[in-house]
Amino acid sequence: MREKEYGIWQSLSWVDLAAMVEQLAAGLHQAGLRSGDHMIVVGANRPRLYATMLAVQSLGGIPIPLYQDAAATECIFPINNAEVRFAFAEDQEQVDKLMEIRESCPQLEHIFFDDPRGLRNYDEPGLAAVDELQAAGKAFAAIHVDFFKEEVEKVRPTDVAAMFFTSGTTGNPKGVVHTHDSLLNRARAGAEFDKLTSSEEVLAYLPPAWIGQNIFSYAQWLACGYVVNCPESAGTATIDLKEIGPTYYFAPPRVFEGLLTSVMIRMEDAGAIKRKMFHAFMSVAKRCGPALMDGKEVSFTDRLLYSLGNLMVYGPLRNNLGFSRVRVAYTAGEAIGPDLFTFYRSIGINIKQLYGSTETAVFVCLQPDHEARADTVGVPCAGVEIKVADNGEILVKSPGLLKEYYKNPAATAEVLTADGWYHTSDAGFLDAHGHLKIIDRVKDVGRIKGGANDGAMFAPKYVENKLKFFQHIKEVVAYGDGRDQVCVMINIDFDAVGNWAERRNLPYAGYTDLAQKPQVYELIKECVEKVNADLAEDALLAGSQVSRFLVLHKELDADDGELTRTNKVRRGFIAEKYQPLVDALYSDKTSQYIETVVKFEDGRTGSVSATLRLENAKTFVPVKAAA
């Protein structure tokens, strides 16, 4: 592993890591951790965080990574549900969080911290540095030389390896229980699919509590033996990405969207000659780049132009993004826009999509190198069976399925059938080429009632994702099930729209002010109507065209309960919180006043108020109906 500290990359060999794991395991054993015990791990990607997880697993214990940006109160349920007595906290921020809820979690006996800064004068029972734990373990291991090996040999492949709490879009999160076999089986399946070796370089920058990060930077790391690089902080991740130049990369679409938005903003600020050259060569890339990536034939002229573009634009651009050495790049979690997908593949980045979830240990479907398409999520990988239920729900059978939901047999029985099929809750189908296509969540697919589109299918996530493909739109919440038309609430991308406004000499005082500018509404209306025109060409979803929209006065925030910790919109919660806005959208009103309570990072609360504009959007006659 590598860890960046104070701007310098520090390396850790497998031998050093093994010694660290043995010492930490011995220290945890002395502290009272036994087989079957749970230990929460809260922090950013760091070698000692990973070593602690390995140490816990070596003793037959079960690590539970939690989101480091979660509010203190969000940690109470997982800690109490899993009866957690041990905790690893990265730094003072995480220690303070655990101290704040300790009265609500009386069984939490031991808290071990990695970074001692700011903690010198803390005097709390059970609070100790990981350094102390490791030193005590080193002394114990020196005397009991066979202890560690004997403990490791007791662990079986079918034993529980880790637990991941779902983000909980409704109600309390559920603890997803995985065995060593389910996690490593899927890690190996993904590695074999993309021919991963020990020479790969990976950047570990996403939360360890997210199953995707845990598979790519932990399970596959152990299965393949490649190098995991831990950035200094979230703020330096982009710089660290360029320094490392990973060969294997994973990011949700919002990360790829953010990178592209920053590129386009910089290009708009570039000189006229650079802009002209960029757009000229990008038109070449769009025309023949994806075909070249897929190994298809292109004309000699196009190949020559593309080679010149690679020298002048694509190569420097890949280098600037940190993708010069990327051999395989995956995206998952949400749908990725066709334009975004095409952009990266057109400049020579092998971006592909995969399908999976926490319950399936990620790898269900993967896209082969020459079959990457924006509208599918790939073919079933080794060991996976897929079938589609009568209601359109995708069912999966795989060696990577969860063992159970912890202490929740009713929820387990809802998703796992007696014969081993897992209910994904996603609606979709397998196309003629054997690729899986996802439409929406089964429970979210609804019908329009009344009006010109009575009875038409409504897929909110599909509509939301199509709008989010525009660089000026960050989040969307769509409503329409059981109603006579589709209406949406939109968050603008403050950086992208701010840059757009500045180039037009349009002054603004902040997000709320910018969001309500008439010019911004015209910009967003243009995006909405482009989506409507696109939907009109799809006979199945033509009735999902957006009739009315508004731009929200604040950004949706996980701290305000509007998003999950994986940045998925909590549509039901938002509908309740912004009921006056939803009602106004489905009325003849042209404006609506709203006042919203917000929570700041330091725990204080305040309010944001504004009078929001409500705008009608042009809808189009479905193409087939027009014909």
Where does 331-450 have alpha helices with state H? Answer: 338-346, 409-415
| pLDDT of amino acid 252 | 87
Residue 55 phi/psi, 5° resolution? Answer: -65, -45
User: Cα 141 from chain centroid?
Assistant: 39
Structure-token match 């990725």, residue found: 336
Contacts 24+ apart (CB under 8 A), 81-85: 81/172, 81/175, 81/406, 81/407, 82/38, 82/40, 82/163, 82/175, 82/406, 83/38, 83/107, 84/38, 84/39, 84/40, 84/108, 85/32, 85/33, 85/37, 85/38, 85/39, 85/109, 85/110
- Averaged pLDDT, 412-436: 92
**Does position 624 have pLDDT exceeding 70, yes or no?**
no
Strand partners, 428: 438
| pLDDT of amino acid 220 | 97
Report residue 571 as tokens. 């549509």
Report residue 232 as tokens. 């200094």
CA angle 612/257/470 to nearest 5° reads: 45
| pLDDT of amino acid 515 | 95
| pLDDT of amino acid 168 | 58
- Give 487: exposed, middle or buried? Use CB within 10 Å, 0-12, 13-18, 19+: buried
Contact 597, 606 (CB under 8 A): yes
Q: How far is it, in rounded angstroms, from Cα 232 to Cα 45?
A: 9
Report residue 69 as tokens. 């940006």
Q: How confident is the model at residue 559 (pLDDT cuts 50, 70, 90)?
A: confident
Select from 213, 202, 208 the least CA-distant residue to 249. Answer: 202
Structure-token match 């079959």, residue found: 371
Q: How far is it, in rounded angstroms, from Cα 381 to Cα 368?
A: 10
Q: Are strands 486-492 and 546-551 parallel, antiparallel or unpaired?
A: parallel
Q: How confident is the model at residue 366 (pLDDT cuts 50, 70, 90)?
A: very high
Q: Please, which residues have CB within 8 angstroms of residue 266's CB and are 6 or more apart in sequence? A: none
* Helix/strand/coil for 466: helix
Q: How confident is the model at residue 429 (pLDDT cuts 50, 70, 90)?
A: confident
8 sits in which H/E element: strand 8-11
* Helix/strand/coil for 393: strand
Contact 604, 560 (CB under 8 A): no
163 sits in which H/E element: strand 160-165
Strand arrangement of the beta sheet that strand 486-492 belongs to: 473-479, 486-492, 546-551, 615-616
Note the pLDDT tens digit of each residue in 95-149: 999 999 999 999 999 999 999 999 999 999 999 999 999 999 999 999 999 999 9
Q: How far is it, in rounded angstroms, from Cα 53 to Cα 40?
A: 9
Contact 121, 14 (CB under 8 A): no
| pLDDT of amino acid 446 | 86
Q: How far is it, in rounded angstroms, from Cα 161 to Cα 159?
A: 6
Select from 276, 275, 264, 304 the least CA-distant residue to 288. Answer: 304
Between the CA of residue 583 and those of 262, 367, 577, 597, what are the distances in Å?
36, 42, 12, 19
Mean of pLDDT over the chain:
92
Q: How far is it, in rounded angstroms, from Cα 123 to Cα 317?
A: 51
Q: How confident is the model at residue 509 (pLDDT cuts 50, 70, 90)?
A: very high
**Does position 39 have pLDDT exceeding 90, yes or no?**
yes
Q: Are strands 227-230 and 201-203 parallel, antiparallel or unpaired?
A: parallel
User: Cα 180 from chain centroid?
Assistant: 23
Question: For 21-25, 43-47, 396-400, 562-566, which range has the lowest pLDDT when averaged over its residues?
Answer: 562-566
**Does position 626 have pLDDT exceeding 60, yes or no?**
no
pTM of the model: 0.80
Sequence-ordered strand ranges (E) for 442-589? 446-447, 457-458, 473-479, 486-492, 546-551
- Averaged pLDDT, 384-389: 94
Contact 38, 82 (CB under 8 A): yes
Q: How far is it, in rounded angstroms, from Cα 380 to Cα 425?
A: 17
Q: What is the DSSP letter of 501?
A: H
Q: How far is it, in rounded angstroms, from Cα 124 to Cα 102?
A: 11
Note the pLDDT tens digit of each residue in 151-181: 999 999 999 999 999 875 557 899 999 999 9
Set out the domains of the chain in order of their start, with CATH numbers. 2-155+194-250 (3.40.50.12780), 251-324 (no CATH), 445-626 (3.30.300.30)
Report residue 627 as tokens. 């014909």
DSSP per-residue letters across 205-264: -S-TTSHHHHIIIIIHHHHH--EEEE-S-GGGHHHHHHHH--SEEE--HHHHHHHHHHHH
Share of the chain above pLDDT 90, in %: 76
Q: How far is it, in rounded angstroms, from Cα 249 to Cα 234?
A: 16
Q: Are strands 546-551 and 615-616 parallel, antiparallel or unpaired?
A: antiparallel
Sequence-ordered strand ranges (E) for 316-357? 328-331, 351-355
Residue 284 phi/psi, 5° resolution? Answer: -65, -45
Select from 395, 484, 376 the least CA-distant residue to 433. Answer: 376
